[in-house]
């Protein structure tokens, strides 16, 4: 450890080099990133954009007493003109724009201010707008008490999109009034707001986790200098991981940003075990009658502590990294991105904890003789005695809990809140709640029909009208707009036949018509809007009734479709991830300790946490969302850390010739304290995620905290009991 100062200098220099680049972190959020990836849907949606135009819509909506009041109409005109002047938007629509054509006696034209000067004029215009089914539910509601301005974002670089959205927000703030706030929504607006929340979470949750880690270390060490060492060194892996994210241009999602504080807490748990070993070695090494030797004794104690715990720390961090990397198997892009970066950070924690922390410990003063954490020793030893006397009872209790939890977990309700993933008081949630309540549903479904060549237009429209009627009758379907809607609108303007009305619309409303029909491919599209929280079975009804148009010629896609597919696969993905991680953990433990008994003993304590948590969710009716997929695998990865430390300590004691009951008792005294404190750090750090504005992150923190507490009981009670029973085999 003589090279300790140089080692610390290198580690700190690397962190110092990475810090300036953190300002270039790319925060990214796509609503679809919370749902299962689907290459076929991606291809289909890209084809739809190519054929029917971009669906990257920016929507400004606000409540008014009467949209046709001259002052409110003037406000809508100001908003429309200001938004139309922005570089990054095209095809801006509102009731006050020249793009919205309604039938006047003089012909088809936009509404003008002079059309609203008298009440009788406003009444006539109100009737015209209510008949314009193409615009109703998008640019205004039926009562004309909600006004909206919609524009298509130009598909250019992300920086321009972000700048455009921020300028639109500024316009909305400038034109908002008390009781009539202008809400800005849209896929890109949601993505930008989520990215901003992610950055705020990274700071807020990270600070809370840092404070929690400091308190746990102070409780263990009783020394401010050692606490500072632990905090500084364990803060390095997150910095390195974020630096690599900048270097390789990996985006940080809202979920991934909140996982970074977990990375710091994982480092603290390994540091707790290292500090415990250092204190034990320092108590033996320091000669109180030769104080001039204490610097050498500190270095000796640190070196011995590393040799004592390097294998279990390495294995525990490897299994934790594997847990984060296992999120790739979920197929959820947000988890894949976060799991990749955090997994790399966990791997980087291995050299930092095993090299950097000991090097720093060699430079600080000797540890205090007795800390508050030492009070845990007596109850832990008493617990060990009770457990080893009745191993069958405690093992049977663990097996019973496991068998009872699995069926209950299968009954847990599943809910995918795509657009309501933020706290109800947040701006995003308020915006989409306003849209759902006052204007239109927010979950899109696209029904695309490739019309057989030679099909008569009247036959096509008849089938589309029948499908529209059937879909609108479904619970949760808010609106259906397609070519037949346009034709009906055209016939309300002039007494045309259907073919003539369609030709008229192609001539005068060509930009709108092209969003619903593509002549080159012979395809037509129905845009269906579904309300948040609609039952997944409604999708089956939509697909079944759409397929009646022409079997094999109809495709259904959209955000609601992805949400339903994710909902149905969630429980399977959850159990698959848990079983995969448990299998990896058992094999690694058995191979590392060269004992199949050790591998089997680790099975039950690591299956219990996810099973019990999700069993409780089923019993209490707590809904699961996509965060549950992450909890399943990561809970096992975190729970195995203390299991490995316990098993290694027991193996060391038995190799020294001590009988198993005595080895378990000494393990509880030597490692049990670190197990309790490291679990306390994990639970408290994960509980900090409750401060996240992103609800899947907050739920992840709650489920994972509960899983860690159950894992603590498994390590202190079920694991020793299992070892005692397996000794007889």
Min mean pLDDT across 73-77, 110-114, 197-201, 390-394 is at 197-201
- The 10 Å CB-count burial string (b at 16+, else e) for 399-422 is eebbeebeebbeebebebbbbbbb
Q: What is the pLDDT of residues 162-209, one digit of tens each?
A: 899 999 999 999 999 988 999 999 888 888 887 787 777 777 777 777
Q: Is 701 helix (H, G, I), strand (E, B) or coil?
A: helix
Strand order in the sheet with 146-153: 89-93, 146-153, 57-63, 183-185
pLDDT of residue 365: 58
391-442 per-position pLDDT tens digit:
888 888 888 998 999 899 888 888 777 777 788 888 888 888 888 888 888 8
pLDDT in tens, 241-294: 888 888 888 877 766 776 777 777 777 888 888 888 887 777 654 444 444 445
Above 50 in pLDDT, residue 59? yes
* Calpha distance 13→184 (Å, rounded): 44
* pLDDT tens by residue, 214-247: 887 777 777 777 788 777 777 888 888 888 888 8
Distance CA 471, CA 575 (A): 35
Cα(441)–Cα(418) distance, rounded to whole angstroms? 13
Q: Which has the closest alpha carbon to 651: 613, 706, 598?
A: 598
Please classify residue 35 by burial: count the beta carbons closer than 10 Å to its beta carbon, then call 0-12 exposed, 13-18 middle and 19+ buried.
buried
Instruction: Find the mean pLDDT for residues 363-389.
Output: 71
Give pLDDT, residue 183: 94
H helix or E strand, kind and range, residue 420? none
pLDDT at 145: 94
Count, residues in the chain: 729
The pair of structure tokens assigned to 81 is 């003109």
Query: What's the rounded Cα separation, in Å, for the pair 401 and 594?
Result: 29
DSSP state of 177: B
Give the Å distances, CA to CA, from 544 to 447, 524, 533. Answer: 11, 18, 20
Q: Distances in Å between the alpha carbon of 9 and those of 12, 274, 354, 362?
A: 5, 21, 15, 14
Q: Which pLDDT score, from 0 to 100, does residue 288 have?
A: 45
- 8 A C-beta contact, residue 581 and residue 636: yes
pLDDT at 528: 93
Per-position DSSP letters for 102-169, written without gaps between them: EEETTEEE---GGGGSSHHHHHHHHHHHHH-TTTBTTTB-TTS-EEEEEEEEPS--HHHHHHHHHHHH
| Residue 604 pLDDT | 85
541 pLDDT band (50/70/90 cuts)?
very high
pTM: 0.85
Domains of the chain: 4-27+192-417+564-726 (1.20.1640.10), 57-185 (3.30.70), 427-532 (no CATH)
């Amino acid at each position: 450890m003589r090279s300790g100062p140089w080692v610390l200098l290198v580690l700190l220099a690397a962190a110092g080099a990475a810090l300036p680049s953190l300002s270039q972190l790319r925060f990214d959020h796509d609503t679809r990133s919370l749902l299962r990836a689907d290459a076929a849907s991606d291809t289909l949606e890209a084809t739809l954009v190519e054929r029917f135009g971009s669906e990257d819509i920016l929507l400004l909506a606000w409540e008014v007493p009467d949209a046709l009041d001259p002052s409110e109409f003037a406000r809508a005109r100001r908003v429309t003109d200001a938004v139309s002047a922005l570089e990054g938007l095209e095809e801006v629509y509102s009731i006050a724009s020249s793009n919205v054509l309604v039938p006047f006696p003089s012909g088809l034209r936009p509404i003008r201010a002079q059309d609203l000067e008298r009440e009788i004029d406003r009444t006539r215009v109100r009737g015209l707008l209510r008949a314009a089914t193409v615009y109703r539910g998008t640019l205004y509601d039926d009562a004309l008490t909600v006004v909206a301005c919609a524009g298509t974002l130009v598909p250019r670089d992300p920086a321009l999109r972000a700048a455009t959205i921020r300028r639109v927000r500024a316009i909305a703030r400038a034109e908002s009034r008390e009781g009539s706030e202008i809400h800005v929504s849209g896929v890109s607006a949601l993505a930008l707001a989520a990215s901003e929340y992610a950055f705020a979470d990274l700071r807020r949750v990270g600070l809370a986790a840092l404070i929690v880690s400091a308190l746990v270390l102070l409780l263990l060490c009783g020394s401010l200098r050692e606490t500072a060492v632990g905090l500084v060194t364990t803060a390095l892996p997150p910095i390195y991981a974020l630096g690599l994210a900048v270097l390789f241009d990996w985006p940080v999602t809202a979920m991934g940003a909140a996982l970074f504080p977990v990375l710091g807490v994982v480092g603290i748990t390994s540091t707790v075990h290292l500090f415990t070993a250092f204190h034990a070695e320092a108590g033996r090494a320091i000669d109180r009658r030769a104080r001039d030797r204490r610097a050498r004794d500190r270095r000796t104690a640190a070196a011995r502590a590393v040799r004592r715990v390097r294998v279990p720390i390495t294995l525990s961090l490897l299994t934790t990294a594997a847990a984060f990397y296992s999120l790739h198997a979920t197929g959820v892009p947000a988890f894949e991105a976060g799991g990749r970066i955090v997994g790399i950070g966990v791997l980087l924690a291995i050299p930092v904890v095993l090299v950097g922390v000991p090097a720093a410990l060699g430079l600080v003063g000797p540890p205090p003789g007795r800390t508050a954490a030492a009070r845990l020793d007596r109850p832990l030893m008493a617990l060990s005695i009770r457990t080893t006397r009745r191993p069958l009872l405690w093992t049977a209790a663990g097996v019973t809990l496991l068998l009872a939890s699995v069926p209950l977990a299968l009954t847990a309700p599943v809910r995918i809140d795509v657009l309501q993933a933020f706290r109800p008081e947040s701006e995003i949630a308020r915006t989409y709640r306003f849209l759902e309540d006052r204007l239109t549903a927010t979950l899109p479904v696209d029904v695309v029909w490739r019309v057989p060549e030679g099909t008569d237009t009247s036959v096509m429209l008849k089938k589309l009208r029948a499908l529209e009627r059937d879909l609108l009758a479904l619970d949760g379907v808010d609106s259906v707009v397609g070519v037949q809607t346009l034709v009906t609108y055209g016939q309300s303007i002039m007494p045309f036949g259907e073919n003539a009305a369609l030709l008229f619309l192609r001539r005068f409303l060509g930009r709108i018509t092209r969003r619903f029909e593509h002549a080159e491919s012979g395809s037509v599209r129905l845009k269906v809007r579904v309300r948040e929280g609609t039952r997944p079975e409604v999708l089956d009804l939509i697909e079944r009734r759409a397929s009646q148009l022409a079997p094999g010629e109809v495709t259904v896609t959209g955000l609601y479709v992805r949400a339903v597919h994710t909902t149905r696969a969630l429980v399977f993905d959850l159990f698959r991830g848990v079983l995969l991680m448990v299998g990896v953990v058992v094999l690694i433990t058995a191979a590392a300790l060269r004992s199949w008994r050790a591998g089997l003993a680790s099975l039950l304590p690591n299956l219990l946490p996810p099973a019990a948590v999700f069993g409780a969710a089923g019993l209490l009716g707590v809904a699961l969302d996509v965060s549950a997929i992450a909890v399943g695998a990561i809970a096992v990865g975190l729970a195995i850390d203390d299991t490995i430390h316990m098993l290694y300590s027991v193996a060391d004691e038995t190799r020294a010739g001590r009988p198993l009951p005595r080895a378990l008792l000494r393990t509880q005294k030597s490692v049990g304290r670190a197990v309790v404190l490291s679990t306390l750090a994990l639970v408290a750090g994960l509980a900090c995620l409750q401060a996240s504005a992103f609800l899947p992150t907050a739920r992840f923190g709650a489920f994972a905290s509960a899983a860690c507490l159950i894992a603590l009981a498994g390590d202190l009670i079920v694991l020793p009991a299992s070892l005692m029973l397996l000794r007889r085999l």
